[in-house]
A and B are shown apart, each in its own frame.
Chain A
Amino acid sequence: MSKSKRKPRTPSSYRAPVSASEPVKRGFFDTLMAPRTGPPAPMPSIRSSIARGFVTVISTPAIVAWVAGVAFVQWVVLVSLGFQGPFTYMAAAMSWPGPGTYLDGQLAAVAFGSTRGSLFSVFIFLIVRGVVLAVLTTMSVETLRTGGVSAWSVRRTLHVLPAAITANMVGLGLLLVAGVGGQFLGQLGLGFLVFVAGLVAAVWLTASAPAIAADEDRGLAGTMQRAYRIARVPGSGGLTIAALYAIPSFAVTSVYAFGGDIGVNPTPARWAVTIGLNLIHATAAVMFAYRYLASAPFIDEAPKATRRPRR
Chain B
Amino acid sequence: MRLPIRSLLTLIFTVASVTFAGASAAAADWPQFQADEAHTGEVQGPAPPYGVAWETDVEPAGPGARFGLSAPIVVDGSVVAVGPESVEVMDLASGEPIDSFERELGPSVPAAIAQTDDGGVLLFTEGWGDGPILPATVATSGSVTPSVTQSPSPSPSPPVVDGFAGPSGLVAVSWPGGDRLWTFDLPEVSRSGVTVTGGLAVVGTNDGSVTAVDIATGESAWTTDAGRNVDQAIAAAEGIVVVPVRGGENTAASVLGLHESDGTEAWRYRPVNPALIASAAALAGGSAFMAFSDGTVHAVGLQDGALRWSDRINGAAPWAPPAVSGGRVFVANAAGQMYGFDVGTGERAWDHARNVAVFRPAPVVVGGAVLMGTVEGQIVAFDLASGDAVWHRDLGEGPIHGMAATDEAVVVVRGGSDAGVLSLIHDAAAPLLAEQSPTVAQPARIVGNWLLAAVPIALLLVALGRFLVARMAPIDLPSIEDAAIGEDGGDA
Contact = CB atoms under 8 A, between A and B. Distances in A.
B294 A113 contact: yes
Given A11-B486, A294-B478, A297-B479, A264 B441 contact: yes
A39 B475 CA distance: 20
A114 interface: yes
B449 A266 contact: yes
B482 A151 contact: no
B59 to A, nearest CB: 33
Nearest to B470: A59
Nearest to B482: A15
A35 to B, nearest CB: 26
Contact of B477 (A59, A145, A216, A279): A145
Given A9-B483, A142-B485, A264 B492 contact: no
A152 interface: yes
A65 B483 contact: no
Contact of A146 (B442, B458, B492): B492
Given A265-B438, A265-B445, A55 B457 contact: no
How extensive is the interface on chain B, given as a class?
Answer: 35 or more
Interface string A252-274: 00000000011111111111100
A215 interface: yes
Nearest to A276: B457
Interface in B438-492: 438-442, 445-446, 449-450, 452-454, 457-458, 461-462, 464-466, 468-469, 472, 475, 477-488, 490-492
Contacts of B485: 9, 13, 141-142, 145-146, 152, 156, 215
B355 interface: yes
Contacts, number: 180
Interface in B34-58: none
B314 interface: yes
Nearest to A60: B465
Interface residues of A, number: 71
Given A271-B449, A271-B453, A275-B453, A6 B483 contact: no
22 contacts: A8-B492, A9-B483, A15-B479, A15-B484, A59-B469, A64-B457, A84-B439, A113-B273, A113-B294, A113-B312, A114-B273, A142-B485, A152-B488, A156-B484, A156-B485, A215-B485, A261-B353, A262-B355, A263-B438, A266-B449, A275-B453, A294-B478
Interface of B: 273, 294-296, 312, 314, 335, 337, 351, 353, 355, 438-442, 445-446, 449-450, 452-454, 457-458, 461-462, 464-466, 468-469, 472, 475, 477-488, 490-492
